[in-house]
Amino acid sequence: MTDKKITIPKHVGIIMDGNRRWAEERNLPSIEGHHKGYEKLKQAPSWFFSRGVSIISVYAFSSENWNRSRDEVNYLMKLVKIAFDRDLDDFNQRGCKVLISGRVDELPGDLPELCYEAMNKTKANQKGTLNICLNYGGRAEIVDAARKMIKNKVAPEQVHEGMIKKYLYQGELDDPDIIVRTSGEQRLSGFMLWQSAYSELMFIKKYWPDFEESDVDLILAEYANRKRRFGGDGQ
């Protein structure tokens, strides 16, 4: 059991970076890195949930990733289909609630239907929430929120931060307490731009395929040592 004195983040965001570089350093095709990264994604949520974290948001595929090679994009979409066709039952049996954030309806083939089916099938699960950011961009999310407010004829005087949050892809989720990026890169790359205003940031040098359960403990220990001020004294 975790020591009660340790502050556990409720929501952890993860930018799963480094799959391609992991493969390149091993003289493997990039799809091998993505495969290894996906296998890690299947494991990681349970590591966090078992330590008291309630929500994991992962950056799975950005709206800019469509610019990659056709073969790589096709393989990534194949992995998404595998996740919802073959592995959803495993997530469901573990009590994991699956949410999808992004422009779901623009995904190819039957992926939009599979995404909605995954969310519906797991909506009652309570062991932890896995929020998969798919065809996602932080600026696109804010644009889509504005469009929805306009479509719903929200009056200017009704627009405030709480209203905007309500119209985000998964507006009911708490903002991430800490956002972790693997691979050593130190930027958000458009990940949860609205929600990350006061998130703690942590950058890990190892690539995502090398992420281990022990890294979860390092993240939680680092978070426990941070003093969050939310713009208050010592900003």
- Distance CA(67)–CA(13), nearest Å, equals 24
For position 86, which CATH number holds?
3.40.1180.10
Q: Is 18 contained in some domain?
A: yes
pLDDT at position 38 is 96
Low-confidence stretches of the chain (pLDDT < 50) are: 1-3
Residue 166 lies in a domain: no
**Residue 154 domain-assigned (yes or no):** no
pLDDT in tens, 30-74: 999 999 999 999 999 999 999 999 999 999 999 999 999 999 999
Domain assignment present for residue 52? The answer is yes
> Considering its fold, how many domains does the chain have in total?
1
pLDDT in tens, 166-187: 999 999 999 999 999 999 999 9
Query: Closest by alpha carbon to 77, among 123, 115, 46, 41?
Result: 115
Residue 107 in tokens: 């995904």
Residue 143 lies in a domain: no
Question: Is residue 230 situated within a structural domain?
Answer: no
H or E element, residue 147: helix 138-151
What are the beta bridge partners of residue 57? 13, 131
Q: Is residue 57 part of a domain?
A: yes
Active site residues: 17, 65
Tell me the whole-structure pTM to 2 decimals: 0.93
From the number of C-beta atoms within 10 Å of its C-beta (0-12, 13-18, 19+), residue 13 rates as buried
How far apart, in Å, are the Cα atoms of 46 and each of 108, 181, 231? 29, 18, 32
Domain residue limits at 203: 11-137+176-223
Is 167 inside a domain boundary? no
